[in-house]
């Protein structure tokens, strides 16, 4: 189960997501990944204006942009709920383990050469 069960209906379904209500509209992730991260305005009392994942990464370059966006966000609002060992290894190596819903398990670290 991901950290956040709520998701914006206009956000791209997938492993990367933003937490509604936690965005402080800093705009930093949008600079790092303008093709992947966007803005959405909702009529909801808890989160009126927030960032969303507009498109999930499809290439290694997209993944690098998304990781940069995760690193740039000042409040760790972009998260990863997937279980892909290569991506988890990469995120952990960049110091983004706290933004993963399912951190890398010790035995997975033994067998994972990066493929991205």
The per-residue pLDDT for range 49-95, each reduced to its tens digit, is 678 898 999 999 999 999 999 998 877 888 999 999 899 999 999 99
Query: What pLDDT, on a 0 to 100 scale, did the predictor assign at position 88?
Result: 93
Q: Flag whether pLDDT at 14 surpasses 70.
A: yes
Domain boundaries defined on the chain: 16-109
Q: Give, in order, the Cα–Cα distances in Å from 107 to each of 85, 103, 111, 112.
A: 11, 12, 7, 9
Q: Flag whether pLDDT at 46 surpasses 70.
A: no
| pLDDT tier for residue 42 given thresholds of 50, 70 and 90 | low
Q: Do the Cβ atoms of 112 and 85 come closer than 8 Å?
A: yes
Closest CA to 2 of 77, 104, 112, 100: 100
Domain 16-109 has CATH 3.40.228.10: no
Average pLDDT over residues 36-60: 76
């Amino acid at each position: 189960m991901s950290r956040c069960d709520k998701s914006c209906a206009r956000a791209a379904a997938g492993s990367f997501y933003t937490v509604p209500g936690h965005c402080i509209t800093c705009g930093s992730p949008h600079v790092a990944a303008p093709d992947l991260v966007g803005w959405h305005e909702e009529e909801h009392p808890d989160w009126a204006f927030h960032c969303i994942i507009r498109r999930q990464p499809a290439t290694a370059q997209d993944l690098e942009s998304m990781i940069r966006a995760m690193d740039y966000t000042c409040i760790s609002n972009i998260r990863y709920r997937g279980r892909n060992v290569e991506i988890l290894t990469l995120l952990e190596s960049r110091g983004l383990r706290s933004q993963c819903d399912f951190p890398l398990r010790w035995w997975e670290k033994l067998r994972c050469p990066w493929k991205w």
